[in-house]
A and B are shown apart, each in its own frame.
Chain A
Amino acid sequence: MSEHEYVPKSKAGKWFNDRLPLLSLASHLTDYPTPKNLNYWWTFGGILTFCLLTQIITGIVLAMHYVAHADLAFASVEHIMRDVNYGWLIRYIHSNGASMFFLAVYIHIFRSLFYGSYKSPREIIWIIGLMIYLLMMAAAFMGYVLPWGQMSFWGATVITNLFSAIPLVGDSITTWLWGAYSVDNPTLTRFFSLHYLIPFLILGLVVLHIWALHIPGNNNPVGIDIKKPSKDTVPFHPYITIKDAFALLLFSIIFAGFVFFAPNVLGHSDNYIQANPMVTPAHIVPEWYLLPFYAILRSVPDKLGGVILMFGAIFILFVLPWLDTSKVRSAVFRPIYRQFFWILVLDVLVLGYVGAMPAEGIYLVLARVGTVYYFLHFIVILPVVGYLEKTEPVPLSISEPVLSGSADYSMAKKDNEKI
């Protein structure tokens, strides 16, 4: 930002900008040099911003009609669905919006894994992103509790009980989280308070995420450092804004498809039964986006061990930039890593599938194999492959592929289109 010399044309603009350089900031954002080869996997940052704003706006509106009380919450959600003008629409956007948010964030994360966007010098962007992801999970979990249905209640019970696995102080922590001796009204009211807070924390982290991004600039499909600005870059506006807008349009069609045609397909019918502390539903499952972690939790036949592995599965991602020893960023030029990347994708999908199934028989075996492989990927495969792999030649710049116009770059391009 500092190298950017912007002087507003109008006198009033100059007067204002000297006092608060918002116009300089706007100019930086529009002119921001962006690699010209960004593909559609790079449009999910914009899509995620849209998701966050959608959740905040619909959430503020829902809070005008929702009542955070154990006796009234369930009825107030039905009141929103039946009585409030367009209440059904706003609630369905909010509930499906959470799923769309996670869908987008998973694509965004795996994009980073494929193209090595988490590597030096972008570790801080990656870590802030993971903090956002953790807050998203907390917000989604607490939001799911608010309708006070059976899945809300028992989901809250199971998740808060995870903390009781902590030696010595576990039970005190769980009671403290509940504000009661079980999940009860005090739990609901504090979850509502925090559920309202977290999106604004996320918004703050998003600002830091983008700020940190604008220091080194975007990574790109070939994963090389580029000169900025140069013939390898285009200004963010209008080139990237229009591409992001088009991707957002396609994303919105899918989003609207869920909202209008299958609004409950991602939810669970048990949550339309009011919370009952005397009866546990026969089959408790979290929302789909938490299933892989749930599978890891259940794959361990020990309570504390399961909890440690589940949180470990997320926290291991924080040290990922230092586990990956390869100097080449993009998987386009990493023939071995590329295959392990797809195995990891498959592994996470399998974990998600078995997380939704009963923890017995073949599902338990699959969950255990999947869990072991997940950790193996990060702890063993990544560091070792980084040393042993013979990477393909990397182009010198985006405009000049290796050996000018060789087959390597066309291969790279083909790969980009494929994934």
Chain B
Amino acid sequence: MDKSEKKTTTRRDFLFTTSYTVGAVGLGAVIWPLIDQMNPDKAQKALATTEVDISQIEPGKSITVLWRGKPVFLKRRTQEEILEARSVSLNDLPHPEKDEERVKNGKDEWLVMLGVCTHLGCVPLSNKGDYKGWFCPCHGSHYDLSGRIRKGPAPKNMEIPKYEFVDANTIKIG
């Protein structure tokens, strides 16, 4: 650029720059509500916790409850199943996580996780697949007794939601 041109920052340049800036901020302020209205609304967020009575579940059995529109598996594992889940070497796991990290300390028999395949969101079938855990029929992902991905296109272990034991027989999810 010519040196003489460079120096002449005019009133008009200033007005252009400030107008564009204010205009861009204004446009953003108008567009954001139009975008954000698509995020979960207050009614959706209000469904954020579910309490489940687990007193009727026998060892080796599981139930499925709906939480925020998604199924949650609550499985009461037998000692053999826990031992099997813990005998796996972390090197064999695509998404390495110890079984201990996926359950509450002292409540090792309870596996609580989102029953949603981490590939494309189908509900895996229990007691199926090559690892005795879950098998997703949509695209063939196999999960083990800790809900960890072992084989197939899913990238991650099934998610553990935030949950707590309210008392010995009640779990609060969310």
* CB nearest neighbor in A for B123: A280
Kindly identify which residue among B64, B69, B153 contacts A302, using a CB–CB cutoff of 8 Å. B153
Q: Are B68 and A181 in contact, with the CB atoms below 8 A?
A: yes
- What are the interface flags for A174-186 relative to B under an 8 Å C-beta threshold, 1 for contact and 0 otherwise? 0111111111101
CB within 8 Å of B: which of A355-393? 358-360
A175: chain B residues within 8 A (beta carbon)? 39-40
Pick out which of these stretches binds chain B: A157-165, A253-261, A324-332, A395-403.
A157-165
Q: Which residues of A contact B40 (CB under 8 A)?
A: 175, 178-181, 186
Q: Give the residues in chain B near A157, CB-CB below 8 Å.
A: 120-122
Does A279 belong to the interface (CB within 8 Å)? yes
Partner of A179, one of B44, B68, B137: B44
A278 on interface, CB distance cutoff 8 Å: yes
A176 to B140, CA, bound (A): 27
Please determine whether A277 and B66 come into contact, CB atoms closer than 8 angstroms. yes
Chain A interface residue number, banded: 35 or more
CA distance A154 to B153 in the complex (A): 18
- The reply to whether A184 and B139 contact each other, CB–CB distance below 8 Å, is no
A180 x B71 contact (CB < 8 A):
no
Q: A160, A181, A284, A360: which contacts B122 (Cβ < 8 A)?
A: A284
Residues of B within 8 A of A300 (CB): 153
Q: Which residues of A contact B38 (CB under 8 A)?
A: 176-177, 179, 186, 190
Query: What residues of chain A lie closer than 8 Å to B13, measured between beta carbons?
Result: none
Tell me, yes or no, whether B138 is within 8 Å of chain A by CB.
yes
Size band of the B side of the interface?
Answer: 20 to 34
Interchain CB contact under 8 A, A158 and B69? no
Contact between B120 and A158, CB atoms less than 8 A apart: yes
- In the complex, the answer to whether A181 meets B70 with C-beta atoms within 8 Å is yes
Is the CB–CB distance between B44 and A180 below 8 Å? yes
B66 CB contacts on chain A under 8 angstroms? 277-278
Interface string of B22-58 (1 = CB under 8 A from A): 0000000000000100111100100000000000000
Q: Which among B71, B138, B153 has the highest number of chain A CB atoms within 10 Å? A: B138
Interchain CB contact under 8 A, A179 and B39: yes
A79 sits at the interface (CB 8 A): no
Q: Which of A160, A161, A278 contacts B123 (CB 8 A)?
A: A278
A283 in the interface, Cβ–Cβ < 8 Å? yes
Residue B119 at the A interface, CB < 8 A? Answer: yes
Q: Tell me the smallest distance from the CB of A271 to a CB of chain B, in Å.
A: 16
Q: Shortest Cβ distance from B91 into chain A, in angstroms?
A: 19
Determine if A282 and B137 form an interchain contact, defined as CB atoms under 8 angstroms apart.
Answer: yes
Q: Which residues of A contact B70 (CB under 8 A)?
A: 181-182, 277
How long is the Cα–Cα vector from A282 to B135 in the complex, in angstroms?
11
The reply to whether A176 and B39 contact each other, CB–CB distance below 8 Å, is yes
A-B contact count (CB 8 A): 87
* Residues on B with beta carbons closer than 8 Å to the beta carbon of A176: 35, 38-39
Residue interface bits A283-306, CB-to-B below 8 A is 1, else 0: 110000000000000101111101
Complex Cα–Cα for A375 and B138 (A): 25
> Which A residue sits closest to B64, measured CB to CB?
A278
A398→B153 CA distance, assembly (Å): 54
CB distance from B159 to the nearest CB of A (A): 10
- Give the distance to chain A from B13, nearest Cβ to Cβ, in Å: 36
Residue B113, interface by CB 8 Å: no
Nearest CB of A to B66, in Å: 7
Taken together as a complex, chains A and B put the C-alpha atoms of A161 and B120 apart, in Å, by 5
- Specify which chain B residues have a CB less than 8 angstroms from the CB of A282 in the assembled complex: 137
Cross-chain contact A283 with B137 (CB below 8 angstroms):
yes
Query: Contact mask B133-155 → A, CB, 8 Å, 1/0?
Result: 00011111000000000001111
Contact B138 A158 (CB under 8 A): yes
Query: 1/0 per residue A142-181: CB within 8 Å of B?
Result: 0000000000001001101110100000000001111111
- Report yes or no: B139 in contact with A359, Cβ–Cβ below 8 A: yes
Closest A residue to B65 by beta carbon equals A278
CB proximity to B under 8 Å, residues A235-289: 277-284
* A179-B41 in contact given A157-B120, A158-B120, A303-B153 (Cβ < 8 Å): yes
A284 to B70, CA, bound (A): 18
CB of A303 within 8 A of CB of B39, answer: no
Q: Which residue of A lies closest to B36 (CB)?
A: A176
Q: Report the minimal beta-carbon distance from B39 to chain A, rounded to whole angstroms.
A: 5
Q: How far is the CA of A298 from the CA of B68 in the complex (A)?
A: 28
Q: Which of A161, A282, A359 has the most B CB atoms < 10 Å from its CB?
A: A161
* Beta-carbon nearest neighbor of A156 in chain B: B121
Q: Which of A106-163 contact B (CB under 8 A)?
A: 154, 157-158, 160-162
Which B residues lie at the A interface, using CB under 8 A? 35, 38-41, 44, 64, 66, 68-71, 119-123, 136-140, 152-155
The list of the 10 closest CB pairs from A to B, nearest first, reads A182-B69, A181-B68, A161-B121, A161-B120, A280-B122, A158-B120, A280-B123, A157-B121, A182-B70, A184-B69
Contacts A157-B120, A157-B121, A282-B137 given; 5 further ones with Cβ under 8 A?
A: A182-B68, A184-B44, A280-B123, A280-B138, A303-B119
What are 9 A-B interface contacts by the 8 Å CB criterion?
A: A158-B122, A161-B119, A178-B40, A179-B40, A190-B38, A277-B71, A281-B137, A284-B138, A360-B140
